[in-house]
Amino acid sequence: MAPTPGRGMPVDGGTNVQEQFSEIGHVAVGLHSGLVWIMGLICLFVLALLAWVIIRYNRRANPTPSRTTHNTLIEVVWTVVPVLILVGIALPSLNLLAKQYESPPADAVTIKATGYQWYWGYSYPDNGGFEVVSNMLDKQGAAASGQPYLLAVDNRMVVPANTPLRLQTTAADVIHSFAVPSLWFKLDAVPGRLNEKLLIIKEPGVYYGQCSELCGVRHGFMPITIEALPREQWEAWVLEQGGTVGEPAAPIEPSGEATAEAVA
């Protein structure tokens, strides 16, 4: 599948987070945008208060300073209001944190990403256990494949779209981190430890990421490329790799809920 420019990858001059293609990503971006507005309004309010105090209470405008030592109402307000703001931020933040660590369902497709110095290996234990080794392409190879340089790889992690994935991470040498910004996914790959998280990619496409844990001199040259295919095309790809295809996982509707037939 050819990548779509600006989709699932960084863009020139970008000032915001990447467009999201996972359910958790949409929730996180909503919280992020709300927090930016809240912080901006608080900063403007404090700046306005500071300007008013400078103008109204400087030595020239107010030669006789007030000797007021406290004001109960103001003290209550500036204590209670920040507490309410923090509580209002904490509740959706905890909800987002809980959503990011929901356990994958029993029928999720398992994919294990292993970090090496300095490349990735993707194995499919539910589909025969075959492994795909993924290395970064050089500048000429990236240009020939129509992919962005420093993000293009020779072999992608290929997954079914709109299907629950049990993405596991580990490492063979030092700590790496598997991160794909457009899917709002990041999970450390630690030697001797197996981490896992649920991932559902809503739409077919190509999504780019990078190792996000300093892991040596070529840390900046072990990109991640995920290709999400419709379920039938993914199964055909698995068979081409010499793998096996078992019972399919329940497809996920765009709302993130299983279909009525799957639930029944």
| Distance of alpha carbon 185 from alpha carbon 212, whole angstroms | 11
pLDDT of residue 6: 87
The pTM for the full model equals 0.82
pLDDT of residue 257: 41
Among 41, 44, 35, 36, smallest CA distance to 89 is for: 35
Domains and CATH numbers, the chain: 23-62+69-100 (no CATH), 109-263 (2.60.40.420)
pLDDT of residue 35: 94
**Long-range contact set of residues 186-195: C-beta below 8 Å, sequence gap at least 24:** 186/212, 188/213, 189/113, 189/114, 189/115, 189/213, 194/112, 194/168, 194/169, 194/170, 195/168, 195/169, 195/170
- Return the sign of the alpha-carbon dihedral for residues 150, 115, 104, 102: negative
pLDDT of residue 247: 56
Contact indicator for 235, 245 with CB cutoff of 8 Å: yes
pLDDT in tens, the chain (264 residues): 889 888 999 988 888 899 999 989 999 999 999 999 999 999 999 999 999 999 988 888 888 888 888 889 999 999 999 999 999 999 999 999 998 888 999 999 999 999 999 999 999 999 999 999 999 999 999 999 899 999 999 999 999 999 999 999 999 999 999 999 999 999 999 999 999 999 999 999 999 999 999 999 999 999 999 999 999 999 999 999 999 987 544 445 544 443 333 333
